[in-house]
Structure 1
Amino acid sequence: MSYRTALTHVLSDVVAPRAELTRAQGVFPRSAVTELGRAGLLGLTVAAELGGGGRGLTEAADVVESAARICPATGAVLQAHYAAVAVVEEYGDPWLRGEIAAGRHLCSLALADGEAGQDPGAPGLGGTPLLAPRGTAEQGGGVVALRARKRQVVAAGEADMYLWSSQPATEREGLSLWAVPAHAPDLFVPARPGRSGPPGSATSTVLADPTFVPAEALLGEDGGGLDILLRTVLPWLMESRAAGDPQVTLAAS
């Protein structure tokens, strides 16, 4: 079955019947995510040898746009997922990539930092720089303590993994990217979603004060995340912009 055929079935049978409930009541489209995973669409861009679809940016953008026409929340969730998976596919370990390929892992982006007391849903915050994160990473042995207040995180509390940015753990310049599992200790998501993002997208704040991850959770080189954001994440977000306004904007200032 082609990805387009699988997508058509999921959109007509699962996404469309629940789209109004998602919009009106702000209910996260969990059933849609589950069926997208079963249909192989969450793993669409993972290498075929790991069980994924082996597809690329063009096909992922097609899925995002098609879903967003029916349910903007589902489109936003897929947009963040595919952008995060693009980094995991290049730098992540085979187990994580296999879980995504099997449709068991939903990923999201935790890139925009907010200050304590700042309303993550307040207007005018879209220009917060993502290329110079305030959040820190402190490494002790094989464990890294991450401290940050991440705002405008799509699927906050619903995703299985966050692509997380921080200042470098050991290098003096640049930024670093981490694969942070949702079950990481002391990772906190408010009970009520923020006001940004399409209704039902569970766009909210994720707080780490701190949360702990193994040093192996680093994606790429310590301090090398800027190049990854510009070369990988930004193109994926921009290509899928037809799904609506991207939930994050890469801005240098």
Structure 2
Amino acid sequence: MSYRTALSEILTSVVAPAAELTGVRGRFPRTAVTALGRAGLLGLTVSTAHGGGGRGLPEAADVVARTARVCPATAAVLQSHYAAVAVIEAYGGSWVRTEIAAGRHLSSLALAETEVLGEDDLLAPHSSAVRSGGVVALRARKHRVVAAGEADSYVWSSRPLTALDGLTLWGVPAHAPDLFVPARPGGAGPSGSGTSTVFADPVLVPADAMLGADGTGVDIVRRTVLPWLRELRAAGSTGVQAPQVVGVTAARPAASLAPS
């Protein structure tokens, strides 16, 4: 079955029936995310060597655009997930890549440190990273995190451990102790996308949770994260404005689809 066929079936049978509840009541589309994972769509861009679909940005943008016509919140979750997976696919370990490919792992970006989202903000984190032996303490307040408290991991940024400038990226498990998400999500994302602030005061991660080398995160954000975000945001905006998929009832579009 092609990814487009699988997506059409999920949009019709799972996403559309819950879209109004997601948008009006702000309920996170957990059932939709689970169905997308089982159909291989969360792992669409993971390499086939790890069990994924082996697809790229064009296919991810297609999924986001078609989903946005039905449920903007689910599309926003996919935007942040696919952008995060692009980093994980390049720098993450085999285990997490296999879990994403199997549809058991949702990731998200935790990069913004101001309420006003701009590309420059993503390149200049103020949050700290302090290493003690094999453990790193990350202290930060990350804004506009999509699927906050719902994702399984976050691609997280901090100042470098030892490098003089730049930033460093980390894979932070969502179940790590001392991560805090407010009970009432607040953010500019679509209702139901779980966009909120994530607090770490601090969160402890193993040193090998680093994605790429210390201080090289600016290059990774510029070459990987930002191109994926730009394309996926454009696809999401186009999807919301486009005619609905035949046989699928579209939800009302939300104000913003920009992930953290």
Q: TM bucket by the smaller chain?
A: over 0.9
In the aligned structure 2, how far is the partner of 1:151 from the partner of 1:2? 36
1:203 matched to which residue of 2?
A: 195
1:247 has 2:258 as partner: yes
User: 1:164-221: per-residue Cα shift (whole Å, max 9, x none)?
Assistant: 0000012111100000000111010000010410000000000000000000000001
Inter-CA distance 246–70: structure 2 relative to 1 (3 Å threshold) = closer
Say if 2:166 is the partner of 1:155: no
Secondary structure in 2 matching 1:155 = coil
Task: Look up the equivalent residue of 1:243 and give its one-letter code.
Answer: G
The Cα of 1:248 is off from its aligned counterpart by 4.5
**In the alignment, does 2:52 pair up with 1:60?**
no
Structure 1 residue runs without a partner (length 5+): 115-119
**Matching residue of 1:15:** 15
Q: Can you list the C-alpha shifts for 1:75-134, whole angstroms capped at 9, x where unaligned?
A: 0000000000000000000001000000000000000014xxxxx5xxxx2347111101
- What TM-score comes out, normalization by structure 2 length? 0.90
TM-score (norm 1): 0.93
Report the CA distance between 1:153 and its aligned residue.
0.2
1:217-236 equivalent positions in 2, closer than 5 A: 217-236=209-228
Distance (Å, rounded) in 1 between the aligned partners of 2:91 and 2:121: 24
Aligned-CA RMSD value: 1.1
- In 2 relative to 1, CA 20–248 (structure 1 residues): closer, same or farther, beyond 3 Å? closer
Give the conservation status (yes or no) of the 8 Å contact 1:139–1:170: no
Letter of the structure 1 residue corresponding to residue 258 of structure 2: Q
| 1:146 corresponding residue in structure 2 | 138
Structure 2 distance, partners of 1:54, 1:88, is: 14
Q: After the TM superposition, which segments of 4 or more aligned residues of structure 1 sit over 4 Å from their partners?
A: none
Kept after mapping to 2: 8 A contact 1:64/1:243: yes
Instruction: State the SS of the aligned residue for 1:112.
Output: coil
| Percent of aligned pairs sharing the same letter | 68
What is the CA distance between 1:2 and its match in structure 2?
0.5
Structure 2: give runs of 5+ residues left out of the alignment.
Answer: 238-255
CA–CA separation in structure 1 for the residues paired with 2:159 and 2:143: 16
Query: Aligned pair count?
Result: 240
Q: CA deviation at 1:247?
A: 2.0
In structure 1, the residue matched to 2:108 is 108
Q: Relative contact order: is structure 1 or structure 2 higher (C-alpha 8 Å, sep ≥ 6)? A: 2
Aligned residue number for residue 130 of structure 1: 122
Which amino acid is 1:54 matched to? G
